[in-house]
Amino acid sequence: MILFPAIDLKDGKAVRLQQGDYDQVTQYSDDPLALARRFAEEGAQWIHIVDLDAAKAGRPVHRELIARIAREVPAKLQVGGGIRSVATAGEYIGDGVARVVVGTKATQDPEFLAALGAKFPGKIALGLDTKAGKIAVHGWTETTGLTVPEYLQSAPLAGVYCLIFTDIARDGMLSGPSIPALREVMAASELPVIASGGVSSLEDLRALVAMEDCKLLGAITGKALYEGKFTLREALKVAES
């Protein structure tokens, strides 16, 4: 299982939100580049970056910072937040980002997702974030009427590499991943799935590793790392076991 340490960007700093609430922000670093370097030095092969300001604005806000991280840090970047055009996705990929994550625009515009998959096959992750079981959009500030299985029935997934599933109620809460919800997502698609939200301990990671036969590609962890629940080296050891 691949472990993705997470860096969420807001106002040029690395922060975490509670349950996607922009009013509940904890700042963890004023130097995201140094943080990314540290993650790579400790063994991370991938880093998951979300431009929180872009998710709200609908356009890249921290593109220059992300491009610098891509150039200077020897880890692959998976980047999301505010990617709502094929051109924006292409700019990030041109900057050296290995995989872009799309959510709001992709779930609301099937033609956009199909165009992305056709132009950048294997470099697209589809972010499916749920609140009370329904897919949430626009930086988690609104919900649609669709569950993940309902959406996936008709989604154009050609060229999409993986799904990233977040149960918003778990995100930033250190309450453990929602394994039943993860299983439901895995059952609804043939694509590999990355779990995001709720990891609070090495035991949580072990529970996810035990699901690997169910197409679990990886797990994203943020707050637990920043709060010292485990070290990145410890987490990588579990993920790779």
Please tell me which residue, 241 or 141, carries the higher pLDDT value. 241
Per domain, the residue ranges of the chain are: 2-239
Residues 109-126, mean pLDDT to the nearest whole number? 98
Residues 127-139, mean pLDDT to the nearest whole number? 85
> DSSP letters along 137-169, please?
ETTTTEE-S--HHHHHTT---TTEEEEEEEEGG
Q: Active site includes 31?
A: no
Question: What is the DSSP secondary structure assignment for residue 211, as one 8-state letter?
Answer: T
Task: Tell me what pLDDT residue 144 has.
Answer: 82
Q: Active site includes 129?
A: yes
Average per-residue pLDDT for the chain = 93
Task: Tell me what pLDDT residue 123 has.
Answer: 99
Instruction: Enumerate helices (H) and strands (E) in the chain, giving the number of each.
Output: 11, 12
Residues 179-203, mean pLDDT to the nearest whole number? 92
CATH code of 2-239, in short, is: 3.20.20.70
Tokens standing for residue 138 = 């626009």
- Which residue of the set 129, 167, 171, 204 is catalytic? 129
Torsion, Cα of 112, 3, 40, 159 (10° steps): -20
Task: Tell me what pLDDT residue 173 has.
Answer: 60
Task: Tell me what pLDDT residue 238 has.
Answer: 97
Question: Has residue 175 got a pLDDT over 80?
Answer: no
Residue 115 one-letter amino acid = A
Residues 17-34, mean pLDDT to the nearest whole number? 90
Reported as a single tens digit per residue, the pLDDT across 39-96 is 999 999 999 999 999 988 989 999 999 999 999 999 999 999 999 999 999 999 999 9
Which is it for the CA torsion 106, 109, 112, 117, positive or negative? positive
Question: What is the band of 215 on the pLDDT scale with cuts at 50, 70, 90?
Answer: confident
Torsion, Cα of 42, 227, 230, 21 (10° steps): -90
- Which residue of the set 8, 51, 167, 171 is catalytic? 8
